[in-house]
Structure 1
Amino acid sequence: MAEGHTKIVGPDLAQGIALSDLPDGGKLAGHCGGEQVLLVRRGTEVFAVSATCTHYGGPLAEGLVVEDTVRCPWHHACFDLRTGEALRAPAFIPLACWTVEQRDGRIFVGEKLKRTAPKPRSGGSGPVPKKIVIVGGGAAGFAAADMLRREQFQGSIVMISDDHAPPVDRPNLSKDYLAGKAPEDWVPLRGETFYSKNNIDLRLDTKAVDIDLRSREVVLADEGRVPYHRLLLATGAEPVRLTIPGADQPHVHTLRSLTDCRAIIEQATTASRAIVLGASFIGLEVAAALRARDIEVHVVAPEKRPMERVLGPQIGDFIRALHEQHGVVFHLENTAKSIDGRKVKLSSGGTLAADFVVVGIGVRPRIGLAETAGLVVDHGIVVDAFLETSEPGIFAAGDIARWPDPNSGESIRVEHWVVAERQGQTAALNMLGHREIFAAVPFFWSQHYDVPINYVGHAGQWDEIAVDGDITAKDCLVRFKRKGRTLAAASIFRDVESLEAEVEMERQMPT
């Protein structure tokens, strides 16, 4: 997403500030040459970088400094203070850096440094592959291709996607873009010239149907073949489809792609009433986006509380109340039995009328290609700590990958955008011969009207929920624990504490 216009605040750092105004470990936002600059002091060193995150423009002065990095308070992107490099998704573009001079007890920010390509990592093992193929045009596939070129991989990259559009910022499709608050140029992860400029052969509307393990080729639906030395499967997930009578009508939608989102927006321009089936994150974000368009929204879902399985009963009750305050009508412990024209018949016997229906009842990992090829599959594609599948040279990342999570000690599969991007980055490094364990703490965020919910970690089950603050006052950090150990934490307007919980989980992992 593009950054908005930043208001110039704070001291003029070209004129200098007293060293005593910036304590060790401290941050200070100011400006230099008409741009917002963040100063960070680490011992005797002082760094000057852009003050806003290159992902969504989060204020880094409100983030967390961890060793020689700074983390964004909004969506946990991480940047190197020395080089500005975007170390972790969801940010891919580096921060600008400035020279810093200390003299006479004062700190002065000088010229903006020219951006240089990051140095590739050393220490890779084995021969460098010449041909890398990525199957999938989502978060993981894009992040892998981007990382390969950032690491100055000189070989060919073929990216096979059965989508009609280049990789997009999918979270926006159920949030600001769907609500009509974001222009379409915020939606692509990168502009069209990115792929040609970086010599990435992006093949859209192209379907892979098999992998020939002996010849090391990906077989396409049109019977074409694409040879590889390393292969990344990043096929993502697909929406669970309704199987009830009437589910195949044109006014019944799922939301996964940009095409899906455009179809819903087009219908919303003339509609006055919608039904959302499912009280998942996607379902309720869609409900909020449609309410922003003044559409009457009814949510039908089988559970007793929205999101209780992931966020617990207290946050579930809060989310329901929040949506009700904005006019959403819930029909919980209920499912749709049939759709007859504009009428939806419920399992309770009632009937609801709506101009269109959005189905958000979950997704399934797209593991058919892996199954056809004979890779080991168990509720996802089984990968090792390096994201390599049972077949050497073939990796998997994103919604399809089931990996050993060092934090929970379990083998898990997570359907979160930032996790997919970070796995794509790690898989790229490992395809180049680096043995980097994927140990990032899972993170996701969800937006409901003006309330963001950040979640770090993974808690499939817990025996204790510890609430610090007040959920109903939109000021809390909620820890999900098992046997006294924090496995995950959800927060509302406790951004720094969310980052601190992430760091705490990183540090408690076995080494």
Structure 2
Amino acid sequence: MTQEQTSPGGPDLTRGVSPAELIEDKLLGHVGDQEILLVRAGAEIFAVDAHCTHYHGPLADGLVVDGSIRCPWHHACFDLRTGEATRAPAFSPLSCWRVEQRDGKIFVQVKLEPKTQSKPSAKPPADTPKRIVIVGSGAAGFAAAEMLRRQDFGGQIVMFGEEADGPVDRPNLSKDYLAGSAPEDWIPLKPENFYAEADIDLRVNTGIAKIDPQAHHVVTATGETVSYDRLLLATGAEPVRLPIPGAGLPHVHTLRSLADSRAIINAAQGARRALVIGASFIGLETAAALRARDIEVHVVAPEKRPMERVLGPQMGDFVRALHEEHGVIFHLEDTVVSIDGRNATLKSGGVMEADVVVVGVGVRPRLALAEGAGLALDRGVVVDTHLETSVSGIYAAGDIARWPDPYSGESIRVEHWVVAERQGQAAARNMLGQREVFDAVPFFWSQHYDVPINYVGHAEQWDEIVVDGDINARDCLLRYKHKGRTLAVASIYRDVASLQAELAMEQGAAV
């Protein structure tokens, strides 16, 4: 997504507008050069910034729910009264503006001072922690640290990350940043000075070797012992590496970190042909980004259709055709068995020369620390409805967590950015004693050239896919059903319908 600034639209709100102009309870207007959104919620009318603080999504196209507004692009949620970003992927609040009604008109002229954001509703318990340690500086770890400070936690926060960079916008690493259309200063989730100002002790390039639940401390890779009162385990996942000859050659890359993305960008300089192994979301987003750099791209993958396991055959065929339309060459139902210099040998017997190779064959959760600490595991770290593990005082969030999903009725583990961030936020509140049930509906998005695919819910299997609209016309909503019940919804340019499906799942209603 690009963050383009355009001339403000709609009426000048300083001159007043009629309440009748609020179509479907919203009206886009402006105060000077600032676009403002008027929103009617119940008997009240609010005025807030018109664009999401995440990727500048148009909130005028969003959904108003119980005194909040949800972004149509990536489902961030904002409190209309305070402007607070109550749900990831947005973290920065919207500005709020004073609304005045007189002479039958609505006027907006003055920006309000930021209001106090959400605080615990109950008095903190006597055992409020003095130090919280977060292992992992990805989506879940960052969201937890940020939320702890937003909740007025006054104790110490120590966050360990193995990567050299602080928390970054990981989804962008395979999208606009890799394509060269997003500058690097968009990539950090917060500026470097945020951590010092928020008194978050962020320790990059620092791995954890051991967790001792009995002693309530962690041991770093260099032998330092750091105690904790509460611990959040957010170690994330690591790319699966191919067990084939040549997989460790310098021009063979995986994509997970900012360093990985930089390395691929450097390798792409002057490259003529790229080989992407795997037709996963990461693999195909990488293919699209490299095509934007005018590199010939070949994709080798064992499946018959890309993304069929998650999105089904119809959407899989569309995704393949979309990439072929942009010049990607597929070699499906095939695999790479060895890489020798610039030559990759396929199982089918062919040999392909490539200047750069990117392996995108999935990730695996990083469970070694959890296993060493004796936490209950089941294809992930088992957590309860509050994201607490089998060991009291230790919580888990993000790619490693397997939690009881109230909508599907099953325990699930999901490797999605927004899920990780929302779990980090919930874990933060629960480490402060709030006992919040994590029941957010999983959501992710994937971007292929100019086509976004949004997905809400979680369907590991289905017996029916109901298509509303036309997939090839890029105007569709697909319902993934099992025994008559919709478990997930994928959509292209049906943003409000996607938000409505998410809300219906939250409320336990039929989609």
Compute the TM-score of the two structures, normalised by the length of structure 2: 0.98
Superposed, 1:417-428 pairs within 5 Å as 417-428=417-428
1:104 aligns with 2:90: no
Match of 2:323 in 1: 323
Superposed, 1:403-482 pairs within 5 Å as 403-482=403-482
- Name the CA distance, whole Å, in 1 between partners of 2:54 and 2:292: 24
Superposed, 1:43-442 pairs within 5 Å as 43-123=42-122, 124-442=124-442
Contact 2:7 2:33 in 1 (8 A): no
- Which amino acid in structure 2 is aligned with residue 107 of structure 1? I
Contact 1:16 1:107 in 2 (8 A): yes
Q: Structure 1 residues 322, 429: CA separation in 2 closer, same or farther (over 3 Å shift)? A: same
- Name the CA distance, whole Å, in 2 between partners of 1:82 and 1:454: 28
- Which amino acid in structure 2 is aligned with residue 363 of structure 1? V
- Which amino acid in structure 2 is aligned with residue 477 of structure 1? L
Give the secondary structure class of the aligned counterpart of 2:12.
coil
- Which amino acid in structure 2 is aligned with residue 88 of structure 1? R
Once the 2 structures are TM-superposed, how far is the Cα of residue 5 of structure 1 from its aligned partner? 2.2
Which stretches in structure 2 are left out of the alignment for 5+ residues? none
- Which amino acid in structure 2 is aligned with residue 34 of structure 1? D
Give the secondary structure class of the aligned counterpart of 2:100.
strand
CA deviation profile, 1:309-365 (whole Å, cap 9, x unmatched): 000000000000000111100000111000010000001111111001000011000
Once the 2 structures are TM-superposed, how far is the Cα of residue 126 of structure 1 from its aligned partner? 4.7
- Which amino acid in structure 2 is aligned with residue 115 of structure 1? P
- Which amino acid in structure 2 is aligned with residue 68 of structure 1? G
CA deviation profile, 1:211-231 (whole Å, cap 9, x unmatched): 111210011111101110000
- Which amino acid in structure 1 is aligned with residue 203 of structure 2? R
- Name the CA distance, whole Å, in 2 between partners of 1:348 and 1:68: 58
CA deviation profile, 1:17-45 (whole Å, cap 9, x unmatched): 0122225x510100013211000112331
Once the 2 structures are TM-superposed, how far is the Cα of residue 2 of structure 1 from its aligned partner? 9.2
- Name the CA distance, whole Å, in 2 between partners of 1:2 and 1:328: 23
How many residue pairs get aligned? The number is 509
Once the 2 structures are TM-superposed, how far is the Cα of residue 110 of structure 1 from its aligned partner? 2.7
Give the secondary structure class of the aligned counterpart of 2:15.
coil
Give the secondary structure class of the aligned counterpart of 2:263.
helix
Q: Structure 1 residues 504, 119: CA separation in 2 closer, same or farther (over 3 Å shift)? A: closer
- Name the CA distance, whole Å, in 1 between partners of 2:229 and 2:3: 38
Contact 2:2 2:182 in 1 (8 A): no
Compute the TM-score of the two structures, normalised by the length of structure 1: 0.98
- Name the CA distance, whole Å, in 2 between partners of 1:223 and 1:386: 31
Contact 1:407 1:509 in 2 (8 A): no
- Which amino acid in structure 1 is aligned with residue 307 of structure 2? M
Q: Which moved more, 1:113-122 or 1:307-316?
A: 113-122
- Name the CA distance, whole Å, in 2 between partners of 1:391 and 1:469: 48
Once the 2 structures are TM-superposed, how far is the Cα of residue 373 of structure 1 from its aligned partner? 0.7
> After TM superposition, what 4+ stretches of structure 1 lie above 4 angstroms from structure 2?
none
Contact 1:117 1:150 in 2 (8 A): no
- Name the CA distance, whole Å, in 1 between partners of 2:118 and 2:371: 38
CA deviation profile, 1:407-434 (whole Å, cap 9, x unmatched): 1111000000000000000000000000
Give the secondary structure class of the aligned counterpart of 2:319.
helix
- Name the CA distance, whole Å, in 2 between partners of 1:42 and 1:73: 18
- Which amino acid in structure 2 is aligned with residue 131 of structure 1? R
Q: Which moved more, 1:115-124 or 1:36-45?
A: 115-124
Contact 1:3 1:54 in 2 (8 A): no
- Name the CA distance, whole Å, in 1 between partners of 2:81 and 2:504: 23
Give the secondary structure class of the aligned counterpart of 1:79.
strand
Give the secondary structure class of the aligned counterpart of 1:17.
coil
Give the secondary structure class of the aligned counterpart of 2:157.
strand
Once the 2 structures are TM-superposed, how far is the Cα of residue 483 of structure 1 from its aligned partner? 1.4
Give the secondary structure class of the aligned counterpart of 1:147.
helix
Contact 2:41 2:64 in 1 (8 A): no
Once the 2 structures are TM-superposed, how far is the Cα of residue 7 of structure 1 from its aligned partner? 2.1
How much is the aligned-residue C-alpha RMSD, in angstroms?
A: 1.2
CA deviation profile, 1:226-277 (whole Å, cap 9, x unmatched): 1100000000000001110111100000000000000000010110100000
- Name the CA distance, whole Å, in 2 between partners of 1:390 and 1:251: 42
Contact 1:2 1:186 in 2 (8 A): no
CA deviation profile, 1:111-144 (whole Å, cap 9, x unmatched): 1001134141222545210100000010000000
- Name the CA distance, whole Å, in 1 between partners of 2:424 and 2:4: 27
- Which amino acid in structure 2 is aligned with residue 60 of structure 1? L
Contact 2:82 2:116 in 1 (8 A): no
Give the secondary structure class of the aligned counterpart of 2:13.
coil
Which stretches in structure 1 are left out of the alignment for 5+ residues? none
CA deviation profile, 1:421-475 (whole Å, cap 9, x unmatched): 0000000000000010110000000000010000000000111100000001100
- Which amino acid in structure 1 is aligned with residue 204 of structure 2? L
- Name the CA distance, whole Å, in 1 between partners of 2:469 and 2:4: 31
Percent of residue pairs bearing the same amino acid type: 69
Once the 2 structures are TM-superposed, how far is the Cα of residue 8 of structure 1 from its aligned partner? 0.8
